[in-house]
Amino acid sequence: ATKGEFLYEGKAKQIYATNNPNQVIIHYKDDATAFNAEKKGSVQDKGVLNNEITTLIFNYLESQGIKTHFIEKLNEREQLCEKVTILPLEVIVRNVIAGSMAKRLDIEEGTKPSNTIFEICYKRDDLGDPLINDDHAVALGAATYEELEHMYKVTAKINDLLKEHFLKEDIILVDFKIEFGKNSEGEIVLADEISPDTCRFWDKNTMKKLDKDRFRRDLGDVREAYVEILSRLTK
Ligand code: C5P
For residue 185, what is the DSSP state? T
Superfamily of domain 3-82: Phosphorylase Kinase; domain 1 (3.30.200.20)
ipTM here: 0.99
12-22 tens-digit pLDDT? 999 999 999 99
216-229 tens-digit pLDDT? 999 999 999 999 99
Query: Hey, where are the domains in the chain?
Result: 3-82, 85-234
Is 214 close to ligand 1, i.e. is its CB under 6 Å away?
Answer: no
214 pLDDT band, cuts 50/70/90, is very high
What pLDDT shows up at residue 203? 98
Is 215 close to ligand 1, i.e. is its CB under 6 Å away?
Answer: no
Inform me whether the pLDDT recorded for 25 exceeds 90.
Answer: yes
Alpha carbon distances (Å) from 217 to 52, 93, 107, 174: 24, 21, 18, 17
Question: Matching CATH topology for 3-82 and 85-234?
Answer: no
Is 171 close to ligand 1, i.e. is its CB under 6 Å away?
Answer: no
Is 24 close to ligand 1, i.e. is its CB under 6 Å away?
Answer: no
Arithmetic mean of pLDDT, 82-90: 98
Is 202 close to ligand 1, i.e. is its CB under 6 Å away?
Answer: no
Arithmetic mean of pLDDT, 160-188: 98
56 CA → ligand 1 middle, Å = 20
105 pLDDT band, cuts 50/70/90, is very high
Arithmetic mean of pLDDT, 204-225: 98
Ligand 1 pocket mutation, candidates 36, 117, 175, criterion most atoms within 8 A of CB: 175
Write the secondary structure of 76-132 as one string of H (helix), E (strand) and C (coil).
Answer: CCEEEEECCEECCEEEEEECCCCHHHHHHCCCCCCCCCCCCEEEEEECCHHHCCCEE
Per cent of the chain over pLDDT 90 is 99
What pLDDT shows up at residue 1? 87
44-65 tens-digit pLDDT? 999 999 999 999 999 999 999 9
18 CA → ligand 1 middle, Å = 30
What pLDDT shows up at residue 62? 98
The atom number, within ligand 1, closest to the CA of 98 reads 3
The CATH code for residues 85-234 is 3.30.470.20
